[in-house]
Amino acid sequence: MNQLAQIGYATALAKVETQRETEARILTRLNAGLEHAMAHPDRNIPATVEALHENDRFWAHIAGDLAHEKNALPEALKAALISLAGFVVAHSARVRNRQAGIAPLIEINNAIIRALNATGVQE
């Protein structure tokens, strides 16, 4: 695919996809990496570390966005999601140290995906 086609596709996708849909799509992709890592824990340690790192990056980005003064979500929801982001990053560290499993991270992402995809929720 040439560069102009890629730019055109990205522009079209941005016009069609809402922020909620984008976040749900990203979480789905992250879960695929986490699920692969969970299915093959000792086979490909670098892939597991990469999956954890990408998930952490997403949650750190979300926490930063939630903390921004222009974020319009209710304060209680922002606080809960920032706390959840902290848990995700701390739990990922425990997974990397082989002190915990990946399943809770996948469950959290799935819960957020369900919430993002819920009908009747305003953006």
Smallest CA-to-CA distance from 37 within 88, 105, 83 is with 105
Please provide residue 8's backbone torsions phi and psi, each rounded to the nearest 5 degrees: -60, -40
Q: What is the pLDDT of residues 11-51, one digit of tens each?
A: 655 567 899 999 999 999 999 999 999 998 778 889 999 99
Contact 108, 86 (CB under 8 A): no
**Percentage helix, strand, coil for the chain under 3-state DSSP, each rounded to 5:** 75, 0, 25
Domains and their CATH numbers in the chain: 18-117 (1.20.120)
Q: Name which of 8-17, 61-70, 93-102 the model is least confident about.
A: 8-17
pLDDT of residue 33: 96
Separation of alpha carbons 35 and 30, rounded Å: 9
- Helix-then-strand count for the chain, H and E: 5, 0
